[in-house]
Amino acid sequence: MSHTLGTMNVSYNRRELLQRATAAAALTMAAQAAPPKKMRLGVITGISSNPEPAIKRVHDLGFPTCQLGMRAFDDATVSKLRDALAKYNVEVTSAVATGPPPEVYDFYKGPSTIGLVPRQYREARITRIKQVSDFAKKAGIPGVQTHCGFIPENPNEPLYEEAVNAIRTVAQYCKENGQTFRCETGQETPITLVRAIKDVGLDNVGVNFDVGNLILYGKANPVDAVELLAPYIMGIHAKDGVYPTNPKQLGREVPIGEGKVNFPVLIGLLKKVDYQNPLTIEREIEGEKQTQDILAAKAFLEKLIG
């Protein structure tokens, strides 16, 4: 009896090992056959109380994703947005928080008007970001982003600690809403932004890497910034520009491929760090030229992504 049971156990164990080996081989072959994940493209857009035209445009331009700014925050707009996203099969990857005004994007008035740094506007900006976060939660949008402002380079300045505390306040609110909070690059050097993120100390805080802004503000070469920012990059604005030459004004935005952002090298580095979130095209002009430049940028980036 014991001899028979031993033979059965040996037979069963061999069969089980063979099944496991076959399953493992099948998984390996499937992994090898599956195409590698690649970055998707998106475009930044804005909505009012009628979101459908903006979402339809994203779809008609051929983008599966977008980042979204909004001027209405009521539940009726949320419902219309969800309907439009389902109708056109578009995914919103991040909600963009701006305002309330004034926000002056230059080197002189910018430090006192942009983001969470200026004391005069800080509470209103915190309230707006929370409003956007609540809207995003209802709409199923996983991230919230904003320009935090000209975060001081010197961490010993009182405004630095105040800015960090303000970022922590809104990031914690987003965390409780199940969202990431993304600081958009631009007004500060990359090392200053990383320092602030570390000092905030929350695991849902990262970066919307606007590669053009680093050029426009003269803060860094975006190719050089990838290594430092890589652990924090949650989204990317694909934008191009030239460095500032007038000390009072930002550099000039230009169509993608015509400025100082080396997109072939940049995208190669993003692939090396396994970045898989969207590249969201931003072209800060209006009219037919904007549409033409967006479509040209789409074709240009698709070739680089592969």
Residue 284's CB is within 10 A of a number of other CB atoms, namely 13
At which residue do the structure tokens 């099969």 appear?
89
What is the tens place of the pLDDT at every residue in 136-146? 999 999 999 99
Token readout for 98 is 């701006």
The pLDDT of residue 28 is above 60:
no
- Give the pair of three-digit tokens for residue 101: 């005004």
Using the 8-state DSSP alphabet, how is residue 185 labeled? S
Residues 40-305, CATH architecture: Alpha-Beta Barrel (3.20)
CB 145 within 8 A of CB 182: yes
| Residue 280: predicted pLDDT | 98
Structure tokens at 26: 């099948």
Q: How many CB atoms lie within 10 A of CB 280?
A: 25
Return all residues near 160 (Cβ < 8 A) that are at least 6 apart: 151, 152, 154, 196
> 56 pLDDT exceeds 50?
yes
Q: What single DSSP character describes residue 177?
A: T
Q: What is the per-residue pLDDT for 19?
A: 53
Could you report the per-residue pLDDT of 183-195, keeping only the tens digit for each? 999 999 999 999 9
Helix or strand or coil: residue 235? Answer: strand
Q: Residue 214 pLDDT > 80, yes or no? A: yes
Tell me how far apart the alpha carbons of residues 303 and 41 are, in angstroms, rounded to a whole number: 12
pLDDT score for 253: 98
Q: How far apart (Å, rounded) are the C-alpha atoms in residues 19 and 128? A: 57
Percentage above 70 pLDDT, the chain? 88
Domain coordinates of the chain in residue numbers? 1-34, 40-305
Residue of 72, 25, 38 whose CA lies nearest to 52? 72
> For the chain, first and last CA: distance in Å?
64
Residue 10 has pLDDT above 80, yes or no: no
pLDDT at 113 > cutoff 60? yes
Euclidean distance between CA atoms 103 and 114, whole angstroms:
5
Rounded to whole angstroms, the Cα distance separating 240 from 226 reads 16
- Dihedral-angle region of residue 119 (phi above 0 means left; psi in -120 to 50 means alpha; beta otherwise): alpha
Q: Which residue has the higher pLDDT, 18 or 240?
A: 240
Question: Residue 38 — very low, low, confident or very high, per pLDDT cuts 50/70/90?
Answer: confident
CA angle 208, 211, 216 (to 5 degrees): 115
User: For residues 23 and 91, which has the higher predicted lDDT (pLDDT)?
Assistant: 91
Judged against a pLDDT cut of 60, whether residue 203 lies above it is answered with yes
Strand partners, 202: none
Largest alpha-carbon pair distance within the chain?
Answer: 95
- Look at the pTM and tell me if it is higher than 0.75: yes
Burial category of 295 from C-beta neighbours within 10 Å (exposed 0-12, middle 13-18, buried 19 and up)? middle
For 302, left (φ over 0), alpha (ψ -120 to 50), or beta?
alpha
Q: What is the pLDDT of residues 233-278, one digit of tens each?
A: 999 999 999 999 999 999 999 999 999 999 999 999 999 999 999 9
Helix (H) or strand (E) holding 30: helix 2-33
The rounded distance, in Å, linking the Cα atoms of 305 and 224 is 19
